[in-house]
Amino acid sequence: MAVVRYSDRAIDVPEGETLLSALEGADIAVPNSCRAWLCHSCIMVAHDSPIPEKAQAGLSSQQIAQSYFLACQCYPESDMEVSLGDAERRYDAVMTYKEPLNQGVLKVRFKTDMPWFAGQYTSVWKNLADGRSFSIASMPEDGHIELHVRRRSNGVISSWLEHEMQEGDSCQLSSARGHCFYNPGAEEQTLVLAGTGTGLAPLYGVARQALANDHRGDIHLYSASGSPDQLYLVDELVDLAGRHENFHYHRVVKREAEQDPQLHQGDLVDIVSRRHTDLKQHRIYLCGAPGMVKKLQKLSFLQGAALTDILVDAFEAPA
């Protein structure tokens, strides 16, 4: 059994248990979403401690050099000392606006001094221990952080945001993290953005940021849900497509596509991989359900996209 030091505490981590699970079992809050190494929400820093190789899979060479690792993939092989690094910094924020976008999604906006890029994610903290990660749908130019929250009646954070937090109330946000954002410099590159559910949030931010930066290549945004009534921001995205000839909005549903000839019915992975067979020199953004993200990440690579051009934000809808 390994002993992991976090702050002023020593946590026993039994063999076969992840560090993330052990920390949660000790009532230590660590941001997390997918628990499958894709979202990187649970990234931590080791201090003069050996890091299991698997815990750094998928991280950049810069992150590895700085001793970052993923708590959800870390099975400690010896004693360690760890921290959340920059993620431990929290910024004061004030809720400025909220409204339901449909029966399943709540839009929330915060005013904060925290720096961010559209498409990154932040954790919203109800108190010192209870926090959840959400992707950022707004650009810095908007002047506010916008999050799209899955509405859950028993959600620790989602229910609190919807029913208890009011405009003008304060909370804290963790430092923005993640690499799923628009990076200027290849303005002719075709962008393919695909997401399920509230995976639309970061993609909406990325698309708007690309257009604000005068991106000239085609931008294809695929938003998928079970049925048409579960889609959201439809009018806003249709309007965006009408104002920018290089922006193409595709709605994907699993059923009831006969309601609208503009809808695609079927599996998002199949539809995207079939419509974009050659992804060389493309940049791919994949956000939402971990299963979808993993499949499209692999297919995108097999269809020509460079690994460095496949950016992902995988998460289960947080509570």
pLDDT of residue 87: 63
pLDDT of residue 319: 57
Handedness of CA 137, 139, 140, 146 (dihedral sign): negative
Higher-confidence residue of 127 and 220: namely 220
pLDDT at 229 > cutoff 80: yes
* 217 in Cβ contact with 191 (< 8 Å): yes
Residue matched to tokens 């080791």:
46
pLDDT at 280 > cutoff 80: yes
pLDDT of residue 129: 80
Rounded to whole angstroms, the Cα distance separating 269 from 115 reads 33
Rounded to whole angstroms, the Cα distance separating 36 from 278 reads 28
pLDDT of residue 62: 63
* 89 in Cβ contact with 125 (< 8 Å): no
Which residue type occupies 294? K
Give the CA diameter of the chain: 60
Write down the mean pLDDT value for the chain. Answer: 93
* 293 in Cβ contact with 268 (< 8 Å): no
Write down the pTM of the prediction.
Answer: 0.80
* 193 in Cβ contact with 228 (< 8 Å): no
Mean pLDDT of 216-233: 97
34-73, pLDDT tens digit by residue? 777 777 778 999 999 999 999 998 887 767 877 989 999 9
pLDDT at 317 > cutoff 80: no
- Nearest CA to 130 out of 164, 81, 96 is that of 164
pLDDT of residue 318: 52
DSSP for residue 19: H
Under CATH, domain 2-86 is a member of which superfamily?
A: Beta-grasp domain (3.10.20.30)
Residue matched to tokens 């039994």:
14
Give domain limits for the chain: 2-86, 89-174, 190-314
Percent of the chain with pLDDT over 70: 97
Least reliable range by pLDDT among 121-125, 146-150, 236-240, 254-258: 254-258
- Which run of H or of E encompasses 242? helix 234-243
- Residue 165, strand partner residues: none
288 band by pLDDT with thresholds 50, 70 and 90: very high
Tokens standing for 40?
A: 């990187």
The CATH number of domain 190-314, selected from 3.40.50.300, 3.40.50.80, 3.20.10.10, 3.30.565.10: 3.40.50.80
pLDDT at 33 > cutoff 80: no
Tokens standing for 39?
A: 């979202």
* 69 in Cβ contact with 51 (< 8 Å): yes
pLDDT of residue 32: 78
The CATH number of domain 89-174, selected from 2.30.42.10, 2.40.30.10, 3.40.50.300, 2.130.10.10: 2.40.30.10
Which residue type occupies 114? M
Write phi, then psi, for 210 (nearest 5 degrees): -60, -45
- Are 89-174 and 190-314 equal in CATH topology? no
115-153, pLDDT tens digit by residue? 999 999 999 999 988 889 999 999 999 999 999 999 998
DSSP 43-89: EEEESS----GGGGTT--HHHHHTTEEEGGG---SS-EEEE-GGGG-
65-98, pLDDT tens digit by residue? 779 899 999 999 999 999 987 766 899 999 999 9
Write phi, then psi, for 169 (nearest 5 degrees): -75, 155
pLDDT of residue 298: 95
6 band by pLDDT with thresholds 50, 70 and 90: very high
